[in-house]
Amino acid sequence: MLDLGWFIFLSPFFGFILILLFGRFNRHLPAIISSASILVAFLISAKIFLGLGSGTVYQSYTWFYGIHYGIFIDHLSIAMALMVSFVSLMIHLFASYYMGRDPNKHVYFAETALFTAGMLGLVVASNLVIFFLFWELVGLCSYLLIGFWFFKPNASAAAKKAFIVTRVGDMLFLVGMALLYTYLSPYTSHPLSIPYLISQSNISTIVAEIGRYRLGLVAVLLLGGAVGKSSQFPLHVWIPDAMEGPTTVSALIHAATMVTAGVYLVARVFPIFLDSASFSIYLVLIIGSFTALYAGTLGIIVNDVKRVLAYSTISQLGYMMAALGLGSLIGMSAVPFSIYHLMVHAFFKATLFMAAGAILISLMDLRDIKKMGGLWKRMPFTVSLMFIGSLTLAGIPPTAGFFSKGEIVSASYAYFLHYKTIASLAPYLFVLFGEFFTALYTFRMFFLVAIGRPRSYLAEHAREAPIWALLPVAALAVLSIIFGLFQHGFYSYFVPSFFVVAIPPLFDWLPLIFALVGIAVAYLFFGTNRWKSMKIARNPFYRLLKNKYYLDFLFTNIIAERVIHPLSSAFGRFERGYNTSNEKFGQSVVSLGDTFRRLQTGVVENYLTFIVAGISVILIIVLFLGGL
Amino acid sequence: MYTSPSVWNVTGASSLQHYYPLFVLAIAGFVILFLGTLRNSRRVFASITFGALILAALMIASDYNAGVIVPAYRINSFTTFFAILFIISGLIITYPALKSIRKKGEVFYALLLFVTVGMLIAAFSYNLIVIFVAFEAVSIGTYLMTGFSRSRRALESSVKYYFVGVLSTSFIIFGLAYYFFYFGTFNLVGSSALQANSTAGLVSLAFLVAGFGFKMALFPMHQWALDTYDGAENSVSAFLSTGSKLVSFVIILKLFLVGFNSIHQYVFYFFLIISIASMTYANIAALSQKKVKRILAYSSVAQAGYLILALVVVSFTTSATTISYAVAAAMYYSLVYLFMKSGSFLAVDVAGKDDATLEDLSGLGKRSPTTAASFSILLLALAGVPLTGGFLAKFYLFLSVIQGNLWWLAVIAVINSTISVFYYLRIMVYMYARPPKENDTFVLSYKMKVPVYITAAITLALGLWYPVFNWILTLSGGLFW
């Protein structure tokens, strides 16, 4: 008997099939089916959440060679499942407005339903192999949805870029999994089962048997997968381009859910990171915190509203990673620290993206914030929602962002206090200055969009979206305000006695101060008209940022064009030569067949001769080989 | 040295009931002949034949564990398996043959039943004289069946078949004479101890293989087969290339596994050369063929080469598990081969021409997608593409070759099946990629299509239903007692 938990991801999957079958017959049907199926998934998740208590749900069947397929639901996965299904539901509701006139609506909703199924399947998967299959499924959906408007050349190029860059990470993930399987298969019959890997008693046996360093290697390879999926430095280059897809896709996949799968992977197998050699978890910390700052600095010069949000996503994912990286001090409490920010981020980032989507619809897809301005007067409700989202993103109380992000910054100061080395100071500085840049780019974008005078015809004639379309956005905005109430409850749901950060009060308030300074700077330049008279085009720092630290240049122009392309064309030449020689060989074989055919004279006397002669020759050869 | 008079005592056995299946078939044959004097209703004959075959199959299946009836006649799981295969090969062509018989239907169906009796005796018998007589019964019956349709081509092919058959008979008789001369018996079971390392016995081996092997169409005894399969009616070709070919195979299997001591360098080289030559020659020769039936005929020669691989393995290895694995692989191959080969010969009927070329099949995919798909499944199975029974058959066979430490031979076999993909796919290319001709001659009645559907479905099912092989592995043990 299948556990109810299976239907968490089967329900959207059935929705996907129904849309494929019937979606094209009615304009409204696809949105209704997909929303309904995701609502069912949400309700099932809620039911399991209420009934779960302190236990887990685990049901699995053998697939082959010790690989099981099944579901494993513990507190981590049910929290994720609730978040994913809820946010996805809200975004689907908004998408019924946003995608309202698209002729390929049924394709869109089929793909997003499939994506949601894949994401929920990934969340409840009981085995790393199954996890990986769903991981690839959401990657595929991401590819399809980024390129949904495939007639835009940018969109299809971006889809390819996203697919290829994440593939690098996936490769590492796969290798890590294979290594883990090889290491563990002598000791256990189910080496890749998640409940097996994360149980405390097993992990110490694993460490004893395969050693901390080899386990650390596995952890680093898994982290490689997470870095690709969660777009951490240096594999972050695909997300900004992915903004070519529909805005709801950006909200669903590239802000709230899929990109968090990498963080979720690390959190899922967190005991491996905790108990392996310490370099693995430090790598998590340093990558995460560096990305948080790095992407934040990139955000301050971008003029495309969606790209600003994309960089902020990268940066916030960096915070989540950094929180996990603090595990060497705070232990398993790192997981709720990180997942709490993950959920808050999902709420406010979906809010921001959908508000931006409403603006883009009204401005005929004009995405340059320098051409907006004064929209608060013209679209008060939408821009207010965006304001709430921005406050949460910048971490201003009383929004949930203040609690979720502040806790991470404070904890990393505690981390520095505990270790007192440069290596432990760097992450703290990264995330602290990250706060400043977050506030700066967020409110730069917000001020340019919302206040001042309209700077284009379209902005002058902007109109509010219908109120029903904005209700789901409002729901998420409300959540991002009040979710801070649940901070400690959330932490203790994961780890009953979670790590309490105790640092001097000044440092507790430092993140807020940095954020406020950031907002003030943003207002100073972008709340007024001062930015128009800035001459920064020749400023070296500006050019560095404009070229994204030359990382794209390195990947595309140096690695891809100078190294991989010549290599592949050399392979291509080899291939061609090989093919021609194959063809030649094939032709000669066929003509040999012709010769054989001529032996077939059709005269029976010849056949008899052939038999007798043939047998005799064979016998002579046999005698010769047998050595008579 | 004449020691065993009971060998001749075939019918005087204590329990006559084990021969009832043979009686059923023979009596049904005579009933048909009798009815034929009254009226010529071919459908009735076909139905009687069909019923008799089914009845005989059920009786044989229910009696599979009877054991040694007389030393010359043994009913065990191995012989029963092949007996059922022979009956199926008759069943498959019973109704499709209706198309080609205009007059004297009673003779054709009576012949089919008599031939089946011969095949069953050949399957069950462990005595070379009995085997020889049964083999000749099969040969003479099939000479007549080949020439039955009275077209020039059929007659010519029948005559060629006959001449080669006569030569082979003389080989067999020589072989038998040598066998008796060296071992003092015609019995297969008792003789293995006699010739532990008898080089002299190999002379008889060579003659016997040359004689029995002609029906398997092994290189260099294959040339008649191309003309005969090509010239005969499709249903008869199907029968010749499955049932009558497998008779030879089962005889040779018994000859070497029960009769001779199989581990011998000469035996190994002998079968090695024959197997490689059959595979390679036929696969290469088929590449430039344009006639569909000739392609299938060449493929049939190549498949015989694959089948013989099992004998190569058993003559090379000493491990009992490997031997029984190889035998089981050969049995499984025979099972799948039966359906895929007869099905593809019957599929050529759809072209509606005696001498169908590839061109005559062009556009079948458009005219009748289901038939084209079924034919494609059969061809893919012959090529050994996964998800069809042909893949598993080749897989197990090549696996047994590797188990016998002959991986290089497995490489040769795999290369050969790669070559063969070319001509099988070429038929599919014509069916799907070429537009239908204006004046195509397709005959797309249900009588033509249903046998193709059924064989294709079974071939597919065998590919998806893995446990069959394990079941056959348990049956293969019967060979040795």
Per the CB < 8 Å rule, is B269 touching A621? Answer: yes
Chain B: closest CA distance from residue A617 (Å): 10
In the numeric block, which tokens belong to residue B230? 């090509």
Of B266, B273, B284, nearest to A596 by CB-CB distance is B284
Per the CB < 8 Å rule, is B419 touching A589? Answer: yes
Q: Is B286 on the interface with A (CB under 8 A)?
A: yes
Per the CB < 8 Å rule, is A593 touching B285? Answer: yes
Report pLDDT for A5.
86
Report pLDDT for B6.
47
* pLDDT averaged over every residue in chain B: 86
Which residues lie below 8 Å from residue A551, measured CB to CB, with a gap of 6+?
A234, A237
* CA–CA gap between residue B378 and residue A173 (Å, rounded): 41
In the numeric block, which tokens belong to residue B481? 């007692």
Q: Helix (H, G, I), strand (E, B), or coil: what is residue A146?
A: helix
Parallel, antiparallel or unpaired: strands B73-75 and B67-70: antiparallel
- Residue A620: closest C-alpha in chain B: B270
Looking at residues A429-438, what average pLDDT do you find?
91
Poorest-confidence range of A15-19, A66-70, B3-7, B58-62?
Answer: B3-7
Sign of the C-alpha dihedral computed for residues A42, A44, A46 and A49 taken in this order: negative
Averaging pLDDT over each range in A2-6, A207-211, A474-478, B62-66, which range is the top one? A474-478
User: Does residue A156 register a pLDDT over 90?
Assistant: no
Per the CB < 8 Å rule, is B164 touching A622? Answer: no
Residue B305 — very low, low, confident or very high, per pLDDT cuts 50/70/90? Answer: very high
So where are chain A's domains?
Answer: 120-552, 572-626
Question: pLDDT tens digits, residue range A174-199?
Answer: 999 999 888 888 888 788 888 888 88
B157, B355, B288, B221: which is closest to A598 by C-alpha? B288
Q: What is the 3-state secondary structure (H, E, C) of A239-256?
A: HHHHCCCCHHHHHHHHHH
Report pLDDT for B299.
93
Per the CB < 8 Å rule, is B288 touching A591? Answer: yes
* CA–CA gap between residue A491 and residue A75 (Å, rounded): 11
Contacts of B203 in chain A (CB under 8 A): none
- Residue B277: closest C-alpha in chain A: A618
Q: Helix (H, G, I), strand (E, B), or coil: what is residue A126?
A: coil
Residue A322 — very low, low, confident or very high, per pLDDT cuts 50/70/90? Answer: very high
Contact B53, B94 (CB under 8 A): yes
Helix (H) or strand (E) holding A406: helix A400-419
Question: pLDDT tens digits, residue range B330-372?
Answer: 999 999 999 999 999 999 988 888 788 888 888 888 888 899 9
In the numeric block, which tokens belong to residue A553? 């240049």
User: Does residue A594 register a pLDDT over 60?
Assistant: yes
Per the CB < 8 Å rule, is A623 touching B266? Answer: yes
Contact B24, B55 (CB under 8 A): yes
* CA–CA gap between residue A29 and residue A26 (Å, rounded): 5
Contact B305, B336 (CB under 8 A): no
Report pLDDT for B194.
47
Higher pLDDT, A498 or A10: A10
B89, B412, B400, B424: which is closest to B278 by C-alpha? B412
Helix (H) or strand (E) holding B68: strand B67-70
Contact A34, A153 (CB under 8 A): no
Chain A: closest CA distance from residue B137 (Å): 22
Which chain B residues in 159-188 lie under 8 Å from chain A, judged by CB atoms? 159-160, 163-164, 167
B55-89 burial: b if 16+ Cβ within 10 Å, else e:
bbbebbeeebebeebbbbbbbbbbbbbbbbbbbbb
Percent of chain A exceeding pLDDT 70 equals: 99
Residue B1 — very low, low, confident or very high, per pLDDT cuts 50/70/90? Answer: very low
How many CB atoms lie under 10 A from the CB of residue B16? 11
User: Does residue B82 register a pLDDT over 50?
Assistant: yes
Contact B64, B80 (CB under 8 A): yes
In the numeric block, which tokens belong to residue B251? 């005889």
User: Does residue A627 register a pLDDT over 80?
Assistant: no
* CA–CA gap between residue B141 and residue B124 (Å, rounded): 19
- Residue B285: closest C-alpha in chain A: A593
User: Does residue B193 register a pLDDT over 50?
Assistant: no
Report pLDDT for B368.
87
Per the CB < 8 Å rule, is A593 touching B286? Answer: yes
Residues of A contacting chain B (CB within 8 angstroms): 586, 589-594, 596-597, 599-600, 602, 604, 606-608, 610-615, 618-619, 621-623, 625-628
* CA–CA gap between residue A458 and residue A252 (Å, rounded): 27
Chain A: closest CA distance from residue B150 (Å): 19
User: Does residue B30 register a pLDDT over 50?
Assistant: yes
Question: pLDDT tens digits, residue range A529-551?
Answer: 777 777 776 777 777 777 777 77
For every residue of A165-177, DSSP letters joined together read HHHHHHHHHHHHH
Question: pLDDT tens digits, residue range A25-39?
Answer: 888 888 899 999 999
Residue B37 — very low, low, confident or very high, per pLDDT cuts 50/70/90? Answer: confident
Of B159, B270, B286, nearest to A618 by CB-CB distance is B270
Question: pLDDT tens digits, residue range B368-427?
Answer: 889 999 999 999 999 988 888 999 999 999 999 999 889 899 999 999 998 899 899 989
Chain A: closest CA distance from residue B277 (Å): 10
Q: What is the 3-state secondary structure (H, E, C) of A47-99?
A: HHHHHHCCCCEEEEEEEECCEEEEEEECHHHHHHHHHHHHHHHHHHHHHHHHC
Of A592, A619, A628, nearest to B284 by CB-CB distance is A592
Per the CB < 8 Å rule, is B269 touching A625? Answer: yes
Per the CB < 8 Å rule, is B210 touching A615? Answer: yes
To 5 degrees, how large is the angle CA B114–CA B115–CA B118? 90
Which chain B residues in 58-117 lie under 8 Å from chain A, judged by CB atoms? none
Report pLDDT for A587.
81
B180, B226, B237: which is closest to B4 by C-alpha? B180
Helix (H) or strand (E) holding B74: strand B73-75
Per the CB < 8 Å rule, is B269 touching A614? Answer: no
- Residue B286: closest C-alpha in chain A: A593
Chain A: closest CA distance from residue B84 (Å): 31
Task: Identify the residue among A599, A621, A622 best suited for mutation to test binding to B, counting B beta carbons within 10 A and taking the highest.
Answer: A622
In the numeric block, which tokens belong to residue A359? 């603006």
Question: pLDDT tens digits, residue range A208-264?
Answer: 888 888 889 999 999 999 998 988 888 888 888 888 888 888 888 888 888 999 999
Residue A56 — very low, low, confident or very high, per pLDDT cuts 50/70/90? Answer: confident
Contacts of B288 in chain A (CB under 8 A): 590-591, 593-594, 597
Contact B115, B138 (CB under 8 A): yes
Report pLDDT for B116.
95
Per the CB < 8 Å rule, is A606 touching B226? Answer: no
Report pLDDT for A207.
85
ipTM: 0.81
- Residue B270: closest C-alpha in chain A: A622
Report pLDDT for B14.
57
Residue B8 — very low, low, confident or very high, per pLDDT cuts 50/70/90? Answer: very low
Averaging pLDDT over each range in A77-81, A329-333, A358-362, B200-204, which range is the top one? A77-81
Of A592, A602, A612, nearest to B227 by CB-CB distance is A602
Report pLDDT for B481.
55
Chain B: closest CA distance from residue A588 (Å): 10
How many CB atoms lie under 10 A from the CB of residue A364? 9
Contacts of B160 in chain A (CB under 8 A): 604, 607
Of A593, A614, A628, nearest to B287 by CB-CB distance is A593
- Residue B163: closest C-alpha in chain A: A604
